[in-house]
Structure 1
């Protein structure tokens, strides 16, 4: 059963429901994973998505911040949610498709502005969150699974607009990159996007602060699609829909896509 999956930090699903619908109409992914929904689950505008054929959803929500949701036109069942680092945040939800594939949707903490846990509690929370993800994958190795989301780390030198300038900037520090690598290795996760697009600069986020984000092109690849080795070879057609960053009232993230022939 081939299916296409997309992941997108939407930065308020209610405010940006029109561009979610635009994506669903124009791109038609079978499954759309959203992060930073900033909404209680019962306030997510499910009716407008259902009208487009996306009648299935699993989600965790909070008023005003965080929140993750998986919208699907394929039947799915909830497969749990974890509160890593005991933050009390809605940052993870999982769903299982009828073909047995489990999809994990993550929104890893951003980590604040200072890459030092001694003076910045949020940076410590980010590292702890990744450590607990790592330990969970070590304890229970994932199988037939896909992990997507805003992981808030751009790991490779060509995942940022300037590697040297960003080495001390949260999201690209060596400490974070190492923590993400340990987490990835713990589950033997394959970076599907980079398996498909191995070379060249690749970004999924551009700051709102840039007057002309497209011309400046100071991006980072913060959004990821990973898969376990037993299904990673079935993945193809990865892309980042850069154009969505320029849509009306956009998120500062662009959607990331992959198709799986399973």
Structure 2
């Protein structure tokens, strides 16, 4: 079975329903994982999604903040939710597809503006979130699994527009990158996107603050797709749909795609 999966921080699924529908119509991933839905689950606009074949959803939501949802054309059942760092936030949901693949959808905390947990509680929460995610996958080694989402960390030098300038900027600090790699190694996760696109700068997020994000191109790769070790050789055709960042009333993130042959 071959299927295509996409992950996208949508920054309000109700506000940006038109571009979610546009992505579904034009690119038609079999599974679409959304983060920062900013909606209770019962308010997610499923009617339009179902009309395009996305009849299955597992989600964790809350009013106005956070929120993760997996929309699927493939039959799927809920496979759990984790509250890493006990924040009480809707930041993780898992779904199990009928082909036996478990998809984890994660929206990691951004971490605020100051990379110091002593003066910035949000940064401490982010570090604790990743530490607990590491411990969880150490204890629950994933099999036939995919982890996706806005992890809010750009790990590599080619995942940011300027490595040296961003070393003290939240999302690319050494302490975050180390924890990011700890989580990836704890589950034996394989970086699908970089497995397919091995060289060159690669971004999935461009700030709203830039007057011309495309020309300035000061991006970061914050959105990720990972595969468990037992299916690491099944993926191909990874891509970031950069042009989506320029659609009308866009998210500041672009969707990331990958295809799996299982």
Classify the TM-score, shorter chain: over 0.9
Match of residue 20 from structure 2 = 20
Report the 3-state secondary structure (helix = DSSP H, G, I; strand = E; otherwise coil) of the residue aligned with 2:95.
strand
User: Whole-Å Cα distance in 2 between the matches of residues 74 and 206 of structure 1?
Assistant: 31
Aligned to 1:248: 248
Q: Tell me how far apart the structure 1 counterparts of residues 191 and 217 of structure 2 sit (CA, whole Å).
A: 23
Q: Which residue of structure 2 aligns with residue 38 of structure 1?
A: 38
The equivalences for 1:99-110 within 5 A come to 99-110=99-110
1:92 is aligned to 92
Q: CA deviation at 1:13?
A: 0.1
SS in 1 for 2:7: strand
Q: Between Structure 1 and Structure 2, how many residues are aligned? A: 262
Q: CA deviation at 1:140?
A: 1.4
Report the Cα offset of residue 229 of structure 1: 1.3
SS in 1 for 2:3: strand
Q: Hey, what's the Cα distance between the residues in 2 that align with 1:231 and 1:20?
A: 28
Q: What is the TM-score with the length of structure 1 in the denominator?
A: 1.00
Pair 1:258 & 2:220 matched: no
Structure 1 position 164 matched with structure 2 position 176? no
Match of 1:130 in 2: 130
Per-residue Cα deviation, 1:30-68 (whole angstroms, up to 9, x for no partner): 000000000000000000100111111000001001000
Q: Does 1:213 align with 2:203?
A: no
Determine the structure 2 residue equivalent to 1:236: 236
Partner SS state of residue 85, structure 1 = helix
SS in 2 for 1:71: strand
Q: Equivalents in 2 of 1:138, 1:86: separation in Å?
A: 18
Whole-angstrom distance in 1 between the partners of 2:125 and 2:144: 29
TM-score computed with the length of structure 2 as normaliser: 1.00
Is residue 2:13 matched to residue 1:8? Answer: no
What is the alpha-carbon root mean square deviation over aligned residues?
A: 0.4
1:57 matched to 2:69? The reply is no
The residue correspondences of 1:54-203 to structure 2 (distance < 5 A) are 54-203=54-203
The 2-side partners of 1:42 and 1:195 are apart by 37
Runs of 4+ aligned structure 1 residues displaced above 6 Å come to none
Pairwise CA distance, 1:142:
0.6
Mind listing any 5+ residue stretches in structure 2 that lack a counterpart?
none
CA distance in 2, matches of 1:191, 1:53: 29
How far, CA to CA, are the matches of 1:149 and 1:106 in structure 2?
Answer: 5
